[in-house]
Amino acid sequence: MDILPQSNDQYGTKEYWNTRYSQETDGASFDWFKSYSEIAEIIHNLIPSRSSKILMLGCGNSKLSEEMYDDGYKNIVNVDYSAVVIQQMQKRHREVRPEMKWHEMDVRDLKFEEETFDVAIDKGTMDAMMTAKGDIWDPPQQVVEDCTKEVNEVIRVLRKKSGLFIYLTFGQPHFRKRFLDIPGTALEVKELGEAFHYYLYTVRT
Ligand SMILES: C[S@@+](CC[C@H](N)C(=O)[O-])C[C@H]1O[C@@H](n2cnc3c(N)ncnc32)[C@H](O)[C@@H]1O
């Protein structure tokens, strides 16, 4: 992808993502900062059962879901608020990966019943909602509300007692923990990577 926004805060708008995805060539894909091969071992350890029901939050046109599917995780439901990318991904995978589902949906307002999923994965999606201009040490109210809504929705749709939220990001703990430290759940953070550090946050219900 080489369609850069004029300013970083555009990453936080649906219009930006719809335009970006509509300008891409058919079949294009882009993975934010990590591909499946680089995180497969982590995924295998965190999700031992291939039949787990998995929610992919803000899937974009990443290959993560298809590569997980091809690795045996067949029960994946993908959501993104860009109607453009959801249509592209539906078309691309309908025949080859028929069990995978695609829905246009906002992660702040998930249209699923409580306790629908075993696992939810966010790779770079909450980050897109954090790009609003302002002080990163004291984020604007809109950012706080958006991230809180996403995390509350994720916890709601995860199975109680056995649910797992996996969040992969460059965002350092100081800027992320405040959204992920939810009473009644267990948060863990790991720093990973060599030259470029990134973080794996897990929240267990
Ligand atoms: C930085 S990209 C990450 C894409 C993919 N997860 C990856 O790892 O490559 C952010 C994606 O989240 C989507 N997104 C941003 N805010 C969203 C929201 N509130 N609800 C649903 N999708 C959202 C965007 O449309 C975009 O596809």
CA of 59 to the centre of ligand 1 (A): 6
* Residue 8: other Cβ atoms inside 10 A: 13
Amino acid at 38: E
Query: What does the pLDDT read at residue 3?
Result: 64
Ligand 1 and 122: CB distance under 6 A? no
Burial of 87 (0-12, 13-18, 19+ CB in 10 A): middle
Ligand 1 and 128: CB distance under 6 A? yes
User: Above 60 in pLDDT, residue 1?
Assistant: no
Enclosing H/E stretch for 199:
strand 198-204
Per domain, the residue ranges of the chain are 8-204
| Under 8 Å between Cβ of 130 and 139 | yes
CA of 128 to the centre of ligand 1 (A): 7
User: Above 90 in pLDDT, residue 195?
Assistant: no
User: Above 60 in pLDDT, residue 18?
Assistant: yes
Protein residue closest via CA to atom 10 of ligand 1: 125
34-64 pLDDT, tens digit each? 899 999 999 999 999 999 999 999 999 999 9
The reported pTM is 0.95
| Domain at 8-204: CATH code | 3.40.50.150
Ligand 1 and 21: CB distance under 6 A? no
CA of 56 to the centre of ligand 1 (A): 10
Query: What does the pLDDT read at residue 133?
Result: 65
User: Which pLDDT band, with edges at 50, 70 and 90, does 33 fall under?
Assistant: confident
